Amino acid sequence: MLVHPQFDPVAINLGFFQIHWYGLTYLAAFGLFYLLATRRIRHAPYAAGGWTAREVEDLLFFGVLGVILGGRIGYVLFYKPGYYLANPLEIFAVWKGGMAFHGGLLGVLVAMVVFARLRGRRFFEVTDLVAPCVPTGLACGRLGNFINGELWGRAADASLPWAMVFPQSGSELPRHPSQLYQFALEGLALFVLLWFYGRSRGAHTSAAGGVVWGRVSGAFLVGYGSFRFIAEYFREPDSFLGLLALNLSMGQWLCVPMIVAGALIWWWAGRSAVAR
C-alpha cells in the first residue's frame, strides 16, 4: 500500500513571491494548447481556411478567460450555491480553490461564440479546432490535483498494488488515486482519440464532398463525458454533496447532458455539411 508523497504545493518560494505547482500546471496546459493548435491549423480543412498563429493566440486569450471565469462560477452554482449566497465575497477568493470543469466548459463555449463572431468564423469551425487540443490541458490539471493531494479516490482494497493513503483525507484508508485515472482517461486517452480522429477525412468531409463542422466537437463531448462518468466511480464524492439520485455523483449527473448533447451534435453535423 502506497502513501501519497505529500508534495510541497509551492514549487518556487522566493519569500515575497510564491509559485504553486497548480499554477504551473495551468501554465503548462495553456502552453500545450498553443503548441497543438498551431500544428492543427496546418491540417485540412484549416490549412485552406486562412488561420494564423496570431488567431490562435487570440483564441487562447479568450479561452483562458472562459476557463477561469466559467470554472469559478460553475463551482459556485453547481456545488456550493448556499454557501456562496451567504458569503458572496468568498466567490472572489479563488486562491482557496474551487473550480468546476463543467463550468469551465460552459465558459469556454461562451468565449468561443464571442471569438467566432468577432472573427467571422463558424462556431463549430472554432470548437472543432479547439477540441483535440484540450485533453492535454486536462491531464495537466489532474497532475496538479495529485500533487496537491486533493480530489482523492474512494476506498480501495488494500491488495490493489497502486492503492494509496491520502493523509489529507483525514483517514488511513487505502484509496484509488483517481486523479491519475482521470489523467489517463480524460487526458491522454481522449487526446490520442481526438487528435487522430480530428485528422481523419471522415471528421470533416461529408459523403458529398462538403466540409463538415461539429463532429470533432461532438466526439469531444461524448468522449469526455463517458470517461469522466467512469472515473467518478473511483473518485470520492464531494463531502458536502455525497451521492445523489441513483447513487450517482454530481460529476456524473453533469456528464449525462454532455454525452447526449455530443451525440446530437455529431449526428446533426453529418446532416449539415457546407459546400467547399
Q: Which segments are annotated as binding site?
A: 142
Residue 245 CB contacts under 8 Å (≥ 6 apart), including other chains = 253
Q: Which helix (DSSP H) or strand (DSSP E) does residue 13 occupy?
A: strand 10-13
Grouping H, G, I as helix, E, B as strand and the rest as coil, residue 3 is strand
CA distance 25 to 29: 6
Grouping H, G, I as helix, E, B as strand and the rest as coil, residue 175 is strand
Give the number of other Cβ atoms within 10 Å of residue 170's Cβ: 8
181, 19 contact by CB (below 8 A) = no
Q: Which candidate, 96, 236, 89, 216, places its Cα nearest to that of 173? A: 236
**Residue indicated by cell numbers 497543438:** 36
132, 195 contact by CB (below 8 A) = yes
How deeply is 209 buried, as exposed, middle or buried, from its count of CB atoms within 10 A (0-12, 13-18, 19+)?
exposed
CA distance 127 to 3: 40
Give the rounded distance of the alpha carbon of 96 from its chain centre. Answer: 20
Torsion-angle region of 15 (φ positive above 0: left; ψ -120 to 50: alpha; else: beta): left
124, 269 contact by CB (below 8 A) = yes
